[in-house]
Each structure stands twice: as C-alpha cells, then as structure tokens.
A = this chain, B = another copy of it.
C-alpha cells in the first residue's frame, strides 16, 4: 500500500507568464511516490487535468477512500511501477488544492487581499515552466517520462516542446493539439454559468463569504455529460426512473422541477459535490488554459512545424468513444510527429467510457502503458 504525503515548495522569484503578467512568492504543492535513484534517471512527472491535483496515487494515512486520481495506473506493480520509478504529481498554479491560487493572498495587495479575479491567467506553458522549476529544486535534470491525460496530455506535449532536452518520453493520453470550437463552446457555457451567478461577485466572492455554487453545479453537470459516451450513459442510466418510483406505482411524477430520471439525480449529485470543494476562479482559469493551448498557432497553423522541436519519444493513446478529445485529434498529433520522423507509438482503445476512459482500469489500455514503461525502465536501467 502506497502512503501519500503532500509537500510544499516556495518560490520567491517572479515568474514571467505567457500573458505578459508575472507571479511571485508562490508555492507549489506536490507528492512523490517511489525513490529517486542515484543517477536521478527514473523520475516520471504526472500532469493533472481540469479538476484533479497533485494527489495522483496512494492514500493518505488514516483516510480510507483517499486514493489518488490515477491510483489504478500508478503504484507498486502497476503500469507505472513506483517500485522502479520516482513519480511526481504537482498541483498546478491557479488550482485549488494547495498550490497558490485565486483563494490565496496576493503578495502585491497592500492590505493582504486574496487574488480573486486578479489572479493572472495561466497557460499550459506556464505550468510546464513551474514544473521545471520544481524539478530543478528536486535536483532532477531529465525526466524518464512526462505523462498526462486530457489537459495533462497537453502539458506532457508542452514539456516535449519547451524542454526537449529534459524529457526522454512523453505519454499523451486522450488529448489533442488544441480544443475544437465545440470544446471551447462547452467551456464557455460553464464559465458563463459561474460568472453570471450572483454569488460570483466578479470573482471576488471570498470577501462576501459566499460561493457561486449554482454556477459550479451547472459547470460540473456539463462537464460530466461530455466526459461520458452516449453509450455508457445509456447503459448506466438509460431512461430509468428515480429510485423512489414505487411511490408512484412506476409512473412518471409529471414534474418539471423534481428528479424524474436517474441521470438527473446522478448529475445533481455530482454538481452538488463539486460545488462543495472546487474553486470558481480556478474553474475559469483552467478551462481558459485548455482554450489557449495551441502549439501550431505560432507556426502558421502547421502542427508539423510546431512539433519539430519535440525530439523525445512519444506514446499517444486515445479512446474510440471519446467525443470530447476524439481519436482523430490524437491522430493529428501522431501524423505531425511522424512528419518529423519522431519515434511514436499510438494505441486507439475501443473502450466504451468516453473521455473518462483515461482514468479507468481497462486491461488493453493499461497493458499498452505497462509495456511502454517497461521499455523506459530498461532504457534507464531500473
């Protein structure tokens, strides 16, 4: 059993952000699993997506059901084997699980106010830079691998582009070279739900001791729909009525506001849970980082030209029922890497779970990742 312990690292020096703004006196919260070997060649950085954190694997002492978000993938004997690799999970700047974010005091505020809406806009590139600074502190020059799913995959790709000499392999799962208009559209609806919640107060709700829960709930409900495939939703919920259907002898309630179908109950529950722990400004920041990521943008839209810098080896994985980050988007990446004669492995997994599949335990998927990390272990001699 893997015990996880969050750690924190402070950074005083200002960091220039892609937006032109900068941030100083910030902290990064992270966890590590396994042991860094003598030549520091076995480090694996795991990047998180929208609503996850540094807590990638293991459990917290005395806390049942506190497994990390990728615990099925990472741990002793698992596909990313922490008895061989030193795995690092970092909470990204602007998030809400320990790393400096909008809910923390702004060091440039004369009266110690929290950032709120003034937290600078952060990008995938900025996160990669902060992760590199953390690795510097940990004395790790080169990563055996950087890996992530969805937005985490964009960071893995960002590493290959920004620090090509510091990465041996990049594992990019259920990701894309940029968001489609539809992806941006879903993000925008979620953001509008949050921003137009009267409890948002322009992002400075902390001073009003309220939380824009209505908006967060809607954002999460939209997210959940897009993470699942139509098929898996039909299989899990279909048109099944609410749990207390016996009370109406199996009939509809005929109500516009009460829960009638189980899918409604599920979404409301997920929305409520999320609104209790997630920060509204973080949601805006992280969805914007997704929108902005677009490495081809500085290369006249040519992804092949953009990826020329990326010299490491790649594993890409996509899932056929993922309509949020469809296999066609991973194939764009594969093609652009092959255009540059890069070493690319690609697996398209026929899992039914939609985008969520990257978090789940599918034997074919895990088999591919395990084989890939076995090869890395051999390469770095662990």
Contact = CB atoms under 8 A, between A and B. Distances in A.
A257 B284 contact: yes
B188 A264 contact: yes
Nearest to A261: B184
A164 to B, nearest CB: 24
23 contacts: A19-B252, A20-B254, A121-B255, A180-B233, A181-B230, A181-B239, A182-B234, A184-B261, A184-B263, A184-B264, A185-B221, A188-B261, A188-B263, A188-B268, A189-B218, A189-B221, A192-B217, A192-B221, A198-B198, A222-B222, A256-B287, A260-B291, A261-B291
Interface of A: 18-21, 117, 121, 178-182, 184-186, 188-189, 191-193, 195-198, 203, 214, 217-218, 221-222, 224-225, 228, 230, 233-234, 236-239, 252, 254-257, 260-261, 263-264, 267-268, 271, 281, 284-285, 287-288, 291-292, 294, 323
A230 B19 contact: no
A254 B121 contact: yes
Contacts of A217: 192, 196
A377 to B, nearest CB: 39
Contacts of A285: 256
B195 A225 contact: no
B195 A257 contact: yes
A186 B218 contact: no
Instruction: Count copies of this chain in the complex.
Output: 2
Nearest to A220: B189
Given A192-B268, A196-B214, A184 B257 contact: no
Nearest to A326: B230
Contacts of A218: 189, 192-193, 196, 218
A182 B230 contact: yes
A292 B197 CA distance: 30
A222 B121 contact: no
**Interface hub of A180, A197, A224, A323 (most chain B Cβ within 10 A):** A180
Contacts of A180: 230, 233-234
Contacts of A292: 252, 254
A30 to B, nearest CB: 25
B255 A181 contact: no
A252 B291 CA distance: 11
B121 A192 contact: no
A99 B197 CA distance: 32
A24 to B, nearest CB: 18
A222 B191 CA distance: 12
A121 B195 CA distance: 32
Nearest to A287: B256
Contact of A192 (B18, B197, B271, B287): B271
A264 B288 CA distance: 12
A117 B257 CA distance: 9
A294 B252 CA distance: 11
A225 B186 contact: yes
Contacts of A19: 252, 254
Top 6 closest pairs, chain A to chain B, by CB: A19-B254, A256-B284, A181-B233, A121-B254, A181-B237, A196-B214
Contacts of A281: 256
Nearest to A284: B256
A189 B192 CA distance: 13
Contacts of A203: 256-257
**Interface hub of A236, A254, A267 (most chain B Cβ within 10 A):** A254
